[in-house]
Amino acid sequence: MKILDGLKFDDKGLLAAVIQDAGTHEVLMVAFMNREALEKTLSTGLAHFWSRSRQKLWLKGESSGHVQAVRDAYVDCDGDAVVIMVEQKGGACHTGYRSCFYRRLLPKEDRLEVVGKKVFDPDKVYK
C-alpha cells in the first residue's frame, strides 16, 4: 500500500498502535505493528499486530475469538504511530478485562486500584 510509504517505522520496523473503541473512545490496548500487520489490518478489516516476544504476526483474537473489527484508522503528525478505532468482541486484555488499562494509579496510597471489570475468564479461553 503506497499510503503507508510516508510512515516512520522504528529501527525494528515497528510503530505504536493505540487501539480505541469506536463508540466510546475508550483505550483498549497499545500494541506494535510492522508494515505487514498494518497492511493486513487495513485490507482485512481485522486488527493484526507484530508480537515482539514471539517474533511473529498475529491476528487479535486468533486464539480467544475476541477479534477487533476495524472501523477507522488515523496516523499521527510525525507518522510514527497510529490510532485504530475498533468494535471489540469480548475483551481486549489477555487477563480477562475489556481494556488493558483496567488499573488506576493511586500515588498518594502507593497502590493500583482495579477499576475495570472482567468480561471473560482467561483460564477457560486460553487452555
**Rg, the chain, Cα only:** 15
Segment 33-87, tens digit of pLDDT? 999 999 999 999 999 999 999 999 999 999 999 999 999 999 999 999 999 999 9
Query: DSSP letter at 79?
Result: S
pLDDT given at position 59? 98
Give the domain extent around 73.
Answer: 2-125
pLDDT classification of 127: cutoffs 50, 70, 90? confident
Question: If you search the block for the grid coordinates 505504536, which residue do you land on?
Answer: 16
Helix (H, G, I), strand (E, B), or coil: what is residue 76? Answer: coil
Residue 59 belongs to a domain with what CATH number? Answer: 3.10.20.810
What's the structural domain count of the chain?
1
Q: What is the pLDDT of residue 42?
A: 98
Average pLDDT over residues 27-33: 98
CA dist., res. 94 & res. 91, Å (int): 8
pLDDT of residue 102: 98
Give the whole-angstrom CA distance, residue 102 versus residue 5: 35
